[in-house]
Structure 1
């Protein structure tokens, strides 16, 4: 009976798999930075033993998305049984370099402060000695009056000297104390950000032979991403616009990315990947009583359901571009170090020469300024995403603009700034500005002269945009009498002139329209 029980226990224990745990050093090899997340690639190696093992990768960011974990081995004799992530509260991440620098600076100031305190204590000790020996003229002192006077003079000189030195030390200590307090506050702020628990990735593996195994580990982390930033530069209206496409990479994952290969991706794995489902739309006769009953029924159904719910041209090679089905990836050619401090690190992606047509644009009814517009054709081939752009024209900073490639248009228009060397005038024509009564109607006539003066030495192409009122009532009639070379959009009420004006020359045209409406009727928005 005892032998049978022993045999059963041996069989039971033989079926229980045991895992010998081994910590394995790993490092970040590459990072794929998405717009609001990043995929980390870690590499390491270990020597497998026959049977089961538990491999622990330490120093993992607590910002990991555990469901994104991927593990690959380079040896078919070792298989992965399970993989999981857990926080390690006993070991924080590697100390941040900023914190180390602050700690060193604080230590030096504390040493200096301690030296001043020692000097102050020494001087106060000397004051105590002087105070204990003030009684020089007692019966048993043995000093003559002359000696007492001399000792008093020495006491006075020494006392005043000590007090002077104490005041000097106090002046030195005060700013030092402020510096120490400020450094401590800064260090506490940095430590609060970086002295957080790290994480471990625990792998349970089984091997049929002892081998050196390389681990390739990938996972996604939060608190990282990038923002696009553009520089638009033009040397003049005869040159194409040069676009510098940059990525401002940031991360606050608690782990520095040291000397890593960086890929900047326009993808975003955090977006909802579920396609929208279009349900049938049923048309029916409105009945308030039926609707009320249906709403009550829906409320009952919802409660019941909740009970069961469970589960161009490229000028500079700073990155290579690969266009995938759902995103565009920029592989940065040089390795980068991105610290976990939340600060933006600018990385150049590409520089393009963009086929550009320059045209001036003005709306003199609203503003007599003339703006230079750069129109870029075939802009969709540059794989841009919405972002801020700095504009430089003829070597000067002009301002900023927003690039929004999501606008459906054949060309991308960018305002390069105001040009004061082109003058525009819009003046009423007196003989065509009148109001008359015709029968039971009032007829008002409006006329304007448009004048462009090109003070530049080179020819320009310019658009002038103006408008006519649009009637929203059949009793108000708008008639365009004269428009010159303008193209008229009746739907929008817009008049658009496109002129070529030679250097140093002027050009003039006019437009006239009238508005007719019943007399004694107040009409607005007609001029």
Structure 2
């Protein structure tokens, strides 16, 4: 190390005249649900001629193969990257970081002093306990056997008095120590908060990578070098507030996003773009391979094997992110979504700051309003009350992404939080806004018969009657959608017949065979009854499953 330092000192000054050290900062970030693209910027001033711009502040975790560089103000020649033997850089600490470290040190010293005081009181308790132990041992000594009664009485009195005093001293010391320790709660809380504040600042003293950018200037110039690269340890999670206005039949969707990153450096006042694109996932269609089938004699059956093509399809490499083009400056105009038919981009109108490994920042992405169709859905087979649903058609330029951060409101009343699946642009969807306690559901089986039937043909049969009641205990009429089911068969041997009164409005609802649907409006204090009968018949000797 000393030899390297000496070499750097005695190197000709002219050799270093062509190298221009520059300091870069994260200026623009595009986040995907998993991963992101970071653009760093660094200004420079260079005389006429060929030079190298030396950046030594790239995080060492940057995948060097993803780095793309552009230069304004000079001609870009070539770039060199390395993550070892990087020249040292001056450690920079902000005033906030220095103050946070000083506060942690102050509180740690204060806590040490206070805990030392508590320990001193504990020592008083231990000394008193030791006195008690000595007096107890003295009272059982064999030397007492030869003492005259008066001396023995005086000794016993002394042991009792001193023992009582020692026990009282131990108790008092314990109480003072416990009280003093409880008094340190606020100090410990302050220290933990100070440590959390220090962690949030994330001292950026980790190892760095170096980037050397060769440029040529026709004349003295001032310019900007931009470096773009992908990072895996960052991303955003959608957050939605769905609010239903029943009276206006409108659904408002407040869009938001939670940001996080663990790149090893803080992002301070960076321009932000959020994209629904997912380059870390599959980016190309799967390959299909020929399917060879053979027949064998039963005694020549061989284990099933995969063709080489099929084996290759199961051992494919993980999809890689697409290469980045040279970055261009981004112009932030508005927070409206930009939809290109494949993904949606949100350009945040301001800047954000996200500490590495510490912050979980929420940003707002605006509001969408859509017409909604409120209706009560009843599933008597599984529920004892109906639920308020809102059907709507998603904005044709908006993709609602799957997330666990979806909160539901009925007017101003919070209903609950639960995950939602993806709703593509322009797709129809239905969301639930909680139970309607006044719409009570009852499902009974008053009649069930099972046994054989037939005169010339032996068979088994099952007959069942289901009675469903929907009761409206509210003071308003409700449009209802009631769902139930009857069994279905794919065997000619199993015959199924059913009837329903009233007749259902739909069968095989949403492509689910045997699922029935009734639609009606139920007035206040009214009850709607649905009777469903079905019969199953199958040959004797067969079992019903």
CA contact (8 A) 1:19 1:52 kept: no
Distance (Å, rounded) in 1 between the aligned partners of 2:368 and 2:272: 21
Task: Provide closer, same or farther for how the CA distance between residues 452 and 114 of structure 1 changes in structure 2, counting only shifts above 3 A.
Answer: closer
Q: Secondary structure at the match of 1:64?
A: coil
Q: Secondary structure at the match of 1:103?
A: helix
Distance (Å, rounded) in 2 between the aligned partners of 1:91 and 1:379: 50
Q: Is 1:418 paired with 2:435?
A: yes
- Residues 32-55 of structure 1 show CA distances to partners (whole Å, capped at 9, x for unaligned) of 112222222222222222332121
Within the candidate set 507, 515, 520, 2:528 is matched to 507
CA contact (8 A) 1:318 1:348 kept: no
Distance (Å, rounded) in 2 between the aligned partners of 1:395 and 1:295: 58
Find the counterpart in structure 1 of residue 104 from structure 2: 106
Find the counterpart in structure 1 of residue 410 from structure 2: 393
Find the counterpart in structure 1 of residue 465 from structure 2: 447
Gaps of 5+ in 2: 1-13, 119-171, 310-332
Distance (Å, rounded) in 1 between the aligned partners of 2:191 and 2:389: 50
Find the counterpart in structure 2 of residue 250 from structure 1: 260
Q: Is 1:80 paired with 2:96?
A: no
1:426 positional shift: 2.2
Q: Is 1:471 paired with 2:489?
A: yes
- Residues 162-188 of structure 1 show CA distances to partners (whole Å, capped at 9, x for unaligned) of xx99x9899868976994997699799
Name whichever structure is richer in strand by fraction: 1
| TM-score (structure 1 length as normaliser) | 0.71
Find the counterpart in structure 1 of residue 325 from structure 2: none
1:506 positional shift: 2.4
Find the counterpart in structure 2 of residue 328 from structure 1: 344
Q: Secondary structure at the match of 2:369?
A: strand
Find the counterpart in structure 1 of residue 353 from structure 2: 337
CA contact (8 A) 2:442 2:468 kept: yes
Distance (Å, rounded) in 2 between the aligned partners of 1:214 and 1:75: 7
1:518 positional shift: 4.3
1:352 positional shift: 0.8
Task: Provide closer, same or farther for how the CA distance between residues 92 and 320 of structure 1 changes in structure 2, counting only shifts above 3 A.
Answer: farther
Find the counterpart in structure 2 of residue 57 from structure 1: 55
- Residues 382-404 of structure 1 show CA distances to partners (whole Å, capped at 9, x for unaligned) of 22221121112232222223222
CA contact (8 A) 2:474 2:525 kept: yes
Moved more, 216-225 or 110-119: 110-119
Within the candidate set 361, 377, 383, 1:361 is matched to 377
CA contact (8 A) 1:318 1:349 kept: no
Distance (Å, rounded) in 2 between the aligned partners of 1:521 and 1:82: 78
CA contact (8 A) 1:102 1:187 kept: yes
- Residues 135-170 of structure 1 show CA distances to partners (whole Å, capped at 9, x for unaligned) of xxxxxxxxxxxxxxxxxxxxxxxxxxxxx99x9899
CA contact (8 A) 2:403 2:421 kept: yes
Moved more, 274-283 or 177-186: 177-186
Aligned residues, how many? 449
- Residues 370-420 of structure 1 show CA distances to partners (whole Å, capped at 9, x for unaligned) of 122221224554222211211122322222232222689952121221111
Q: Secondary structure at the match of 1:112?
A: helix
Distance (Å, rounded) in 2 between the aligned partners of 1:472 and 1:457: 45
Distance (Å, rounded) in 2 between the aligned partners of 1:521 and 1:277: 44
Distance (Å, rounded) in 2 between the aligned partners of 1:520 and 1:79: 85
Distance (Å, rounded) in 1 between the aligned partners of 2:182 and 2:528: 73
Distance (Å, rounded) in 1 between the aligned partners of 2:191 and 2:335: 42
Task: Provide closer, same or farther for how the CA distance between residues 17 and 116 of structure 1 changes in structure 2, counting only shifts above 3 A.
Answer: closer
Gaps of 5+ in 1: 1-15, 121-163, 299-316
CA contact (8 A) 2:238 2:402 kept: yes
Q: Secondary structure at the match of 2:350?
A: coil
Say which one has the larger Rg: 1
Distance (Å, rounded) in 1 between the aligned partners of 2:240 and 2:116: 57
Within the candidate set 42, 46, 49, 1:48 is matched to 46
| TM-score (structure 2 length as normaliser) | 0.69
